[in-house]
Amino acid sequence: MAIKEKAPAAALAAPAAPSNRLAAARRRLGWTGMACVGVVGAVVLAAVVGQFLAPYDPTVGSVTQRHLGSSAEHLLGTDQAGRDIFSRLLAGARTSLLGPLIVVGATAVAGSALALTAVWFGGKVDAFLGRVLDVLFAFPSLLLAILAVAIFGPGLVTASIALAIAYIPYSARVIRSVALRERSLPYVKAAELQGINGFTITLRHILPNVWTQILTGSTINFGYAIVDLAALSFLGLGIQPPEADWGLMISNGQESLQQGFPEQSLYAGLCIVVTVAAMAYIGERLGGRAAAGRSKS
């Protein structure tokens, strides 16, 4: 009898093959979605190897090279300090993606842990964690980040951790709703009857079945984090000069923009818009904003 009981549980708990999931994702993305994946891949490549491809030091300029136009020597021209804009864009890709990666990683881990804990234990534990998340909901993400920067000082890590804390309730809310449905399915009951402990069931069976939701929500949140961290850098609360960052470049280019030299702000803003749009499209095709706990309003 033991063998007959284990078979259906294993069959129900077995996740889809990775190749099938990948093919399904490609179908949902379509050609436009795959092009967006290519854009994101190019940005990631620039972040990883950009410092080796940059023709100039992104932090060193020259007074005699200020506000030069596009040329063979300076592909996208130079900024108000005589620094090569193309080199700064490549260097800025690293900082502009590293912060959102910290935010998304911390949000996914903490949000999933809270949601799965609440779902498995239920009752008072679920109610308590729900109240904690409600408190976090009361703090706007940028306000919490500004408060953290005011206390601990400006910097990428400080702003990223503060944003991650603000993003956790969004992810936890959606993951909890999906995991709650999985918790009520027969394969979980069958695993419990076989004496498998709750931690093992959650880690080996429930988590793989909500992983797609976690990944989709992370994709959406990544775009939000890029914008929020760029805004903090724009306000001088994130990456500090002379380091390169897309949000900081927009801020630094304000004066040049008024003088008729829009290149720095224009190119940095374009990089943010294209990257965020590509990430948003990928997330929308995979699961929509609901996967990140964000309303469409």
- pLDDT for the residue numbered 249: 92
Beta-carbon-side half-sphere exposure of residue 144 (alpha carbons within 13 Å): 17
Do residues 58 and 83 lie in contact, with contact meaning Cβ atoms separated by under 8 Å? yes
Residues 119-154 have pLDDT tens digits of 888 888 889 998 888 888 887 878 888 888 888 888
Higher pLDDT, 145 or 18: 145
Question: Is residue 163's pLDDT more than 60?
Answer: yes
- pLDDT for the residue numbered 106: 93
Q: What's the chain look like in SS3?
A: CHHHHHHHHHHHHCCCCHHHHHHHHHHHHHHHHHHHHHHHHHHHHHHHHHHHHCCCCCCCCCHHHCCCCCCCCCCCCECCCCCEHHHHHHHHHHHHHHHHHHHHHHHHHHHHHHHHHHHHHCHHHHHHHHHHHHHHHCCCHHHHHHHHHHHHCCCHHHHHHHHHHHHHHHHHHHHHHHHHHHHCCHHHHHHHHCCCCHHHHHHHHHHHHHHHHHHHHHHHHHHHHHHHHHHHHHCCCCCCCCCCCHHHHHHHCHHHHHCCCCHHHHHHHHHHHHHHHHHHHHHHHHCCHHHHCCCCC
Kindly report which listed range (20-24, 164-168, 240-244) carries the lowest average pLDDT score.
20-24
Higher pLDDT, 196 or 250: 250
CA-to-CA distance for 74 and 65, rounded, in angstroms? 10
* Contacts within 8 Å (CB) and 24+ apart, 181-184: 182/206, 182/209, 182/210, 183/119, 183/120
